[in-house]
Amino acid sequence: MTFQPASVLPSKRLSKPDSSAWIPAKPADFTNFHLKAEVLTKPGANAGIFFHTAFQEEGWPEVGYEMQVNNSHKDPVRTGSIYNVVKNFTPPAEDDTWFTQELIVKGKRITVIVDGRVLFEFVEPDGVTGSRKLSHGTFGLQAHDPDSVVHFRNLRVKRLP
């Protein structure tokens, strides 16, 4: 199976207060997948790629996980982290430079790759409750605050068995 475009937008720039954009993947429900995105952060940017989430008209996503996009923001949780689950404190990429961020979800395993380097593999333990857990859903892009400027391009997703 080859990568398919996940969005009709070849590039997306996010930079307004509480801004978020949803990737209109069709069909929009993914369980096991390999997502690739090219990302460029400006200094001080804090953003995220939400997955296994659901579309909302406003507010932060209430379900799913967030893969962090942050190389220099005052929040020390850096690019590749699964927010509030797996914390990476060393930026794997630099601001003002395009980098590739990948996310592989298969069953209960999450693998995060930045510029071809595996940052970690995380296996979600049995018994996780609440709305922050692996299940299925769509994707969302987030810019955290008014000073966060981040660019996304060439978003691609491949379904996995």
DSSP string for residues in 37-83: EEEEE-TT--EEEEEEE---SSSS-SSSEEEEE-SSSSS---TT-BT
pLDDT at 114: 98
Quote the CATH superfamily of domain 18-159.
Exo-inulinase; domain 1 (2.60.120.560)
pLDDT at 23: 55
- Digit-by-digit pLDDT tens for the chain (161 residues) are 344 444 333 445 555 545 555 554 555 799 999 999 999 999 999 999 999 998 877 777 889 999 999 999 999 999 999 999 999 999 999 999 999 999 999 999 999 999 999 999 999 999 999 999 999 998 888 888 878 889 999 989 999 99
pLDDT at 2: 41
pLDDT at 26: 57
